[in-house]
Amino acid sequence: MRSKKRIIIGTTISVGLKKRCVGLFFIACSLVCCPNFGLLAETIPSSNTYNHSLNVDSSTSPRIKIYFYDPEINTARNLVLKNTWDTYLYQFGSYEFQPVDSSNDFEQLVRNEENAAFIMAEWFYSSLFSSQDNDLELAFNGLLNGRDTYQKILVSHDNIIDLEKVTIACSGTKKRAKSVLRSIYPELSLSQIEKIKILLVPKDIDALMAVGYGLADMALSTEVGLSKMALLNQNIYKDMVVLKASKPLRRSVLIFKSSNKELKASLAYALMNMSKHPNGQQAINLLGLDEWKIVDSLSTLLPKNIMDDTHKNGGHNNDN
């Protein structure tokens, strides 16, 4: 009898240990496969605090997508971009950030998706989506250092350039590059612009590197890109000459496609607070911005006390 009891007790302990080991193994796997597992557990419930004041219930609603496409911003690290945005957005509601690689795919999403938001280059928005798209609302302009515009600059090692014989490195698309070149060289005909050779690269800084290493004669970049080059490689930077600059160009914009005012108000609140949170600041910086400016027509989305607080603290409506 005692031997049988010992066997039963031993078997029970063994089973218990196995269950505990399996549980520990599962937790370990969760931490390895999803390092934000613990963070999500802490941040998701807090969304109720933000959404309660806006009367938004995110507990039962599906995740609202925020699609992103900008060929002039390098998204080779799309997973980092998505995770950084998602980590911030989970605090405010059922939102999910989704980078898109293809312009055709993005255009179809804009036309077909409902109850969504879209971040894109302003030129992409204005060239593809006319005012006839009544279900699209321009909601936010992206800012950097208080400005919603920037300029493309032509950089080279030489002051005298024969455009018929040069290769110009740039990010984005060839169509976009030639559109910018037409604004820089209004005296050139369309056929002359079309003959210019374009070397596409992932980022503005890569365009400058291409000039530095002799892969291109000129780079179509930005002042920010040139400043980064000064920090990264003084040997290349010291020989660079800025030849011309484009007319002011608009930065990225965020578009709403929804008639749900509560959804838009909750997302607007999250966007306006990005620069006040480390995670939010990191997320928006990955898009080459540092804050959002809400358009006047949509400023009534949020309670007056929130808008007043933003103005008082020198938020996104301060362009000085």
Is there a single domain that holds both residue 142 and residue 256?
yes
Tell me how far apart the alpha carbons of residues 236 and 229 are, in angstroms, rounded to a whole number.
Answer: 8
Is there a single domain that holds both residue 129 and residue 221?
no
Q: Which helix (H) or strand (E) holds 88?
A: helix 78-89
DSSP of 30-86 = HHHH-TTHHHHHHHGGGHHHHHHTTT---SSSPPEEEEEE-TTS--TTHHHHHHHHH
Is there a single domain that holds both residue 225 and residue 91?
no
Q: Are the beta carbons of 37 and 136 closer than 8 angstroms? A: no
Structure-token pair, residue 37: 């597992």
Tell me phi and psi for residue 302, to 5 degrees: -105, 150
Q: Which residues pair with 263 in a beta bridge?
A: none
Q: Is residue 236 part of a domain?
A: yes
Please report the pLDDT score of residue 198 as a whole number: 96
Q: Among 247, 271, 286, give the residue marking a domain's end.
A: 247
CA dihedral 157, 160, 161, 162 (to 10 degrees): -150
pLDDT < 50: residue spans in the chain = 1-58, 311-320
Tell me how far apart the alpha carbons of residues 294 and 272 are, in angstroms, rounded to a whole number.
Answer: 8
Q: Is residue 8 part of a domain?
A: yes
Tell me how far apart the alpha carbons of residues 119 and 178 are, in angstroms, rounded to a whole number.
Answer: 23
| Domain total of the chain | 3
Say how many C-beta atoms besides its own lie within 10 A of residue 265's C-beta. 21
CA–chain centroid gap for 51, Å, is 23
Is there a single domain that holds both residue 187 and residue 209?
yes
Q: What is the pLDDT of residues 201-215, one digit of tens each?
A: 988 889 999 999 999
Q: Is residue 38 part of a domain?
A: no
Q: Is residue 222 part of a domain?
A: yes
Q: Which of 96, 107, 123 is nearest to 178 (CA)?
A: 123
Domain range for 240: 152-247
Tell me how far apart the alpha carbons of residues 317 and 41 are, in angstroms, rounded to a whole number.
Answer: 33
Is there a single domain that holds both residue 199 and residue 285?
no
Please report the pLDDT score of residue 51 as a whole number: 46
Is there a single domain that holds both residue 266 and residue 142?
yes
Is there a single domain that holds both residue 140 and residue 275?
yes
Q: Which residues pair with 198 in a beta bridge?
A: 168
Is there a single domain that holds both residue 269 and residue 131?
yes
Q: Is residue 169 part of a domain?
A: yes
Is there a single domain that holds both residue 241 and residue 273?
no
Q: Is residue 90 part of a domain?
A: yes
Q: Kindly list the distances between the CA atom of residue 292 and the CA atoms of 147, 252, 253, 273, in Å, as whole numbers in the listed order.
A: 10, 10, 9, 9
Is there a single domain that holds both residue 104 and residue 124?
yes
Q: Is residue 209 part of a domain?
A: yes
Tell me how far apart the alpha carbons of residues 66 and 91 are, in angstroms, rounded to a whole number.
Answer: 15
Is there a single domain that holds both residue 69 and residue 123?
yes
Q: Is residue 317 part of a domain?
A: no
Q: CATH number of the domain at 302, please.
A: 3.40.190.10
Is there a single domain that holds both residue 123 and residue 256?
yes
Q: Are the beta carbons of 51 and 102 closer than 8 angstroms? A: no
